[in-house]
Amino acid sequence: MLAAKLLKYFEALKSNLQKRNSRKNVDQSEPNTGMPTNRNRDRLEQSLGLIPLPNTFLEPTPDLDRYGGIKLGWVQGVLIPCLLNIWGVMLFLRIAWIVAQAGIGFTLVIIFISGVVCVITTLSLSAICTNGQLKGGGIYFLVSRSLGAELGASVGLIFAFANSVAASMNTIGFCESFNDLLKSHGVKIIDNAENDTRIIGSIALLVMCIICAIGMDWETKAQNFLIVTIVAAIFNYIIGALMGPATVHEKVQGFVGISKETAKQNWGPDFRTSEGEDHHFITIFAIYFPSMTGVQSGANICGDLRDPAAAIPKGTLFALAISITSYLIMAVLSGTGALRDASGEIAHVGNSTLLASCKPSCKYGLHNNYEIMQLMALWGPLIYAGCWAATLSTALTNLLSVPRLVQALGTDRIYPGLIFFSKQYGRHGEAYRGYVLVFIISLLFLLIADLNTIAPLITNFYLASYALINFCTFHAAFVKPINWRPGFRYYNLWLSFAGFVMCVIIMMIISWLMALVTTFIFLTLYLIVLYRHPETDWAGSTDAQNYQVTVTKILEMSKRRANTKSFNPQLLILTGPPHEREWLLDMGKIITAVGSFCIMAEIQQEKVNAADRNAKINFGQEWMQLRDARGFYVFLDGYSLEEGLRTLILCSGLGSLAPNIFLIGFMYRWRVCPHAMLTTYYRCISLAFELGLAVTVLRVSGTYRPPKRQKVNFENPKIDSNTSDNDEQSQILQITANDSDIDTSIKKKDGQESDKETLQLAPDSFVQATVSEQISGAYNVYGAYRPLVFQQGSTLDVWWLYNDGGINVLLPYIIANRGCKHKMMLRIFVLPYPGVKTIDSYNSVKNLFQKFRIEYSHLTVIEDIHVPPQTLTWDMFNSLIENHKSEKVDGVQDPILISGDVLNKLLRKTTKHLRIRELVLQHSFAADLIVMTLPYPRQDTVPAALYLAWLDIISHDLPPTLFVRGSPQTTVLHA
């Protein structure tokens, strides 16, 4: 009756498919009348808000849904594949043997536990499936879009391997049954044993792979025939068992008919040694459990379903109900209708004690005859057909799912080795290369030719996969991201968690060693993806959890009082266009290598539209990612430099995760730039101090050459009192361009001067060109950038001139010991304390550094700081300020220019700075990096030109120099 109904359903389904295809052809042949098609009408209605947009939480795996393949309903796409997968090798070959070993009672327990695990997993799987659109990729797609690429790829690959081995296991089951049939007729190929299994199995495996590779329509036709055969065989067995033995030969071989006495004898366990292994409850469970691992069959081909969200829950739950019921019925009938041992002697008929007297060498009975179901069936040959259909259908389903899963992994470029298998062939995008792979893997395990050996092997892999599916649902339901809105409501997060725990416990009980191996393989695959960090934007529940944890931690940190022990350098870097001030980003990377972050900011006075702004932000962020910088890029338009900087300082960051150090490049062209620009630059430094930030100014001379770098024959630009270190061109924002650290006046080896044209990245170029192309263009135009790199043995000189809370010592320590690949030699230069002997100053500083645990290679106290500067130094200084001298107008001092009165008032400071220059030249000219205390900008007494002249004269012709000064409120060193 059931078979007739199924055939009738298949005919109706085929008719509907034909009608749909014919209607589709008619629609395609209609002329263009200017009216919107159904698809265009849907899009128009969606854009107008007339119908809801689809949930796009689970984005499709690229290129797997482009081919107009055959779409299946819930019966043919989920119910039948699940039944075919669950009704596998155990149904006719091992369920009676399991009853013999475990007894009826424990067999029911085994089926119940397996059913509970599968039902819970199905509920979890249904919740995931109904949380968005599903495309090709099966379990991998579901887990990766829900929990992340790392977990999805790991569990997906493990699941693919388990399915490949399961295909070989079911093929071995087919071969066992086929060998028994040949043996009963006195036919053999080699030995009616392992060798025949290998030969027959290899041929069967190849034929099934070809059937799967031909396409879904052929595989579906094969499924229709197989399901009818299995159902007929099941009813054939049930009817035969209920009718009882028909001949004496059946009785003496153990089939005595259903009776209370037989049920009582077979109720308890009778664990024995079989094929060299001592069996117990756990080993029997491990052998049985793979027979229940078909719940994922619908999800494996979710890309071929018409409505996956509705089909998978309905079809899988119905399949579980039908299959569990069938296993229970067949187990009970086997235990109540057949003896565990039978001699086969006609003289023993009617006496169960004599029948079992042949133990342990009996040939018949539940323990000894894997084909006893054929004996109990109404018609034995139909059991052969059902066994073959069950084993081959399960193998067919497994073989069909693996190539699609591997294809999805390759398409998403998760593992480089699987990209080769992502190629699609034909109109339906078949994964022919994947079929070759699964054939090879299955063939290798087929050569083992022992079903009881392979079954426990794959149990751990299936349990691991089910554990991850349950954990996915639990994690998503527990974290509750906004996009977690499953249409399937009959799930519970704690039930999913219980399923996860059950799977893990069962794995450990079955074999702790195999559980550890499975865990190790999973962690290895997980770490590979974590290390490669593929570019995905699937927004899994792990991303939602990271977001929630991040917000919570930021709020917690904001409630804590600031402490010097928890100080971390958090930089605000005023770079302008990110590609124009590479050295600033280099220094930011070095300082933030301790685990902090930087904000790279560009301020533009002109307003831009939203598209150009987004393009600039994307370009800047990708630039930082390409340079492995720890931080963020911020673009601010419609503000002057000073207003924009104030806005950034006040608004950047969250709570305690706000910038505390301001990094800006030295203004190389301060002598020739407009006075307004000079004033703005000076005010920016002062503004940072006013708002409580430490300030750092980086100067990298045009003569800088990184140590031990590849030789490049560049001609250094001539430096005199009328030229700057860098002949920088005007950029979008001229003020920040004047502090650019890229040298554009360097000549090439052939004597031809490089192009001095300014690199202009128009808004269109941000959209049209890739970041790597724009970066290449930047280097081609400038051709002079040489990154700040410090090798083994590089020297960092620290000139600690003023007490600034310790940041002038902390930053050099970070750079020398934590920021670079190799540690640098740290040399400390300090000025003597006023009125204190040099040796006392030395000991005091030494004790201070020991207290702060700052290691250094050399400590020097400068004794001759009060020696007057040389005349040449004064001449150089006077040439620097020559164009910025003025006189007071009506007794008012110009805030930019330098008057004679100001020079006289600040003569002592000027003299000190000139002397410091001479000392730095004397002691640190060969250093690789210099860190020096930044003079404090006092706008009310020190004009902008004089302040810049001090910085210029100190750092001119020196190695890369970083001026550092903490804010008056900042103390960062602690004991």
Do residues 833 and 878 share a domain? yes
Is the previous residue joined to 360 through a cis bond, with omega within 30 degrees of 0?
Answer: yes
* CA neighbor of 82 nearest in space, from 308, 393, 329, 387: 393
Higher pLDDT: 45 or 148? It is 148
> 782, 812, 834: which is the final residue of a domain?
782
Report DSSP state, residue 822.
Answer: S
Residue 402 scores a pLDDT above 70: yes
Residue-level pLDDT at 649: 92
Could you give the CA distance from residue 370 to residue 444 in angstroms, rounded to a whole number? Answer: 25
Residue 52 scores a pLDDT above 80: no
Alpha-carbon radius of gyration of the chain:
40
Residues 6+ apart with CB under 8 A from 283: 277, 456, 510
Residue 772 scores a pLDDT above 70: no
Give the total number of structural domains in the chain. Answer: 3
The DSSP string of 482-524 is: TT---S-----HHHHHHHHHHHHHHHHHH-HHHHHHHHHHHHH
Q: Which of 739-743, 814-818, 826-830 has the lowest mean pLDDT?
A: 739-743
Residue-level pLDDT at 931: 94
Dump pLDDT digits (tens) for 409-432. Answer: 888 888 888 889 888 887 777 888
Contact 200, 175 (CB under 8 A): yes
Q: What is the mean pLDDT of residues 443-462?
A: 88
Do residues 805 and 718 share a domain? no
Is 492 part of any domain?
Answer: yes
Q: How, if at all, do strands 277-278 and 273-274 pair?
A: antiparallel
What residues make up the domain containing 647?
567-782
Do residues 89 and 143 share a domain? yes
Residue-level pLDDT at 818: 81
Contact 960, 927 (CB under 8 A): no
Q: What is the mean pLDDT of residues 653-660?
A: 86
Is 241 part of any domain?
Answer: yes
Could you give the CA distance from residue 309 to residue 126 in angstroms, rounded to a whole number? Answer: 8
Do residues 399 and 508 share a domain? yes
Could you give the CA distance from residue 72 to residue 467 in angstroms, rounded to a whole number? Answer: 28
- Read off the CATH number of the domain in which 889 is found: 3.40.50
- When pLDDT is cut at 50, 70 and 90, the band that residue 45 belongs to is very low
* CA neighbor of 582 nearest in space, from 743, 464, 717: 743
Residues 88, 91, 97, 100, CA torsion sign? positive
Is 163 part of any domain?
Answer: yes
Token readout for 117 is 């695990």
Could you give the CA distance from residue 687 to residue 681 in angstroms, rounded to a whole number? Answer: 10
Do residues 773 and 799 share a domain? no
Token readout for 862 is 């400068």
Token readout for 198 is 């290998």
* 3-class DSSP string for 429-457: CECHHHHHHHHHHHHHHHCCCCHHHHHHH
Neighbours of 547 (CB within 10 A): 13
Could you give the CA distance from residue 127 to residue 485 in angstroms, rounded to a whole number? Answer: 9
* CA neighbor of 171 nearest in space, from 474, 370, 432, 446: 446
Residue-level pLDDT at 260: 92
Residues 453, 457, 460, 462, CA torsion sign? negative
Residue 697 scores a pLDDT above 90: yes
Could you give the CA distance from residue 644 to residue 437 in angstroms, rounded to a whole number? Answer: 59
Q: What is the mean pLDDT of residues 444-463?
A: 88
Contact 437, 451 (CB under 8 A): no
Residue 158 scores a pLDDT above 50: yes
Do residues 723 and 853 share a domain? no
% pLDDT > 90, the chain: 32
| Average pLDDT score, the chain | 79
Could you give the CA distance from residue 59 to residue 141 in angstroms, rounded to a whole number? Answer: 9
CA distances from 663 to 579, 581, 689, 717 (A): 16, 12, 12, 26
Dump pLDDT digits (tens) for 941-967. Answer: 899 999 999 999 999 889 999 999 987
Phi, then psi, of 681 in degrees rounded to 5: -60, -45
Is 587 part of any domain?
Answer: yes
Do residues 897 and 843 share a domain? yes
Neighbours of 851 (CB within 10 A): 11
Do residues 466 and 578 share a domain? no
Is 3 part of any domain?
Answer: no
CA distances from 494 to 100, 497, 864 (A): 36, 5, 75
Residue 504 scores a pLDDT above 60: yes
Do residues 146 and 175 share a domain? yes
Neighbours of 757 (CB within 10 A): 10
Q: How, if at all, do strands 961-965 and 694-699 pair?
A: antiparallel
Residue-level pLDDT at 55: 36
Could you give the CA distance from residue 179 to residue 185 in angstroms, rounded to a whole number? Answer: 10
> 748, 782, 816: which is the final residue of a domain?
782
Calculate the CA dihedral of residues 308, 309, 315, 317 and round it to 10 degrees.
Answer: 150
Dump pLDDT digits (tens) for 708-745. Answer: 433 333 233 333 333 333 433 333 344 444 444 433 33
Residue 99 scores a pLDDT above 70: yes
Is 788 part of any domain?
Answer: no
Amino acid identity for residue 899 in this structure: S
Residues 6+ apart with CB under 8 A from 289: 114, 459, 462, 463, 506
Query: Mean pLDDT: which of 298-302, 773-777, 783-787 is highest?
Result: 298-302
Could you give the CA distance from residue 99 to residue 331 in angstroms, rounded to a whole number? Answer: 6
- Read off the CATH number of the domain in which 657 is found: 3.40.50.620
Residue 560 scores a pLDDT above 90: no
Residue-level pLDDT at 838: 82
Phi, then psi, of 896 in degrees rounded to 5: -110, -55
* CA neighbor of 717 nearest in space, from 738, 744, 755, 741: 744
Token readout for 647 is 């806005």
Phi, then psi, of 654 in degrees rounded to 5: -130, 115
Q: What is the mean pLDDT of residues 859-884?
A: 89
Secondary structure class of 663 (helix, strand, coil): strand
Residue-level pLDDT at 666: 93
Do residues 613 and 481 share a domain? no
Residue-level pLDDT at 714: 27
Do residues 758 and 851 share a domain? no
Q: Which of 36-50, 386-400, 820-834 has the lowest mean pLDDT?
A: 36-50
CB-based contacts of 3-6 (< 8 A; 24+ apart in sequence): 3/228, 3/231, 3/232, 6/224, 6/227, 6/228, 6/231
Tracing tokens 């400590």 back to the chain, one arrives at 859
Do residues 517 and 600 share a domain? no
* CA neighbor of 930 nearest in space, from 701, 683, 752: 701
End-to-end alpha-carbon separation of the chain, Å?
87
User: To which H or E segment does residue 731 belong?
Assistant: none
Residue-level pLDDT at 563: 67
Tracing tokens 């037989």 back to the chain, one arrives at 262
CA distances from 614 to 207, 276, 623, 634, 695 (A): 55, 69, 14, 11, 29
How distant is the alpha carbon of residue 95 from its chain centre? Answer: 42
> 514, 532, 550: which is the final residue of a domain?
532
% pLDDT > 70, the chain: 79
Residues 6+ apart with CB under 8 A from 413: 419, 422, 534
Contact 678, 640 (CB under 8 A): no
Is 54 part of any domain?
Answer: no
Residue 344 scores a pLDDT above 70: yes
Residue-level pLDDT at 957: 86
Could you give the CA distance from residue 196 to residue 182 in angstroms, rounded to a whole number? Answer: 10
Residue 49 scores a pLDDT above 80: no
Residue-level pLDDT at 762: 34
Let me know how many helices (H) and strands (E) the chain has, helices first: 36, 14
Residue-level pLDDT at 656: 82
Is 576 part of any domain?
Answer: yes
Dump pLDDT digits (tens) for 268-303. Answer: 999 998 877 889 999 999 999 988 888 877 776 666
- When pLDDT is cut at 50, 70 and 90, the band that residue 495 belongs to is very high
- Read off the CATH number of the domain in which 122 is found: 1.20.1740.10
Residue-level pLDDT at 249: 87
Sheet of 929-933: strand order equals: 631-637, 598-604, 571-574, 661-665, 694-699, 961-965, 929-933, 795-800, 825-830, 858-861
Contact 154, 415 (CB under 8 A): no
Residue-level pLDDT at 405: 86
- The whole model's pTM is what? 0.72
Angle among Cα 646, 651, 655 to the nearest 5 degrees reads 135
Amino acid identity for residue 217 in this structure: D
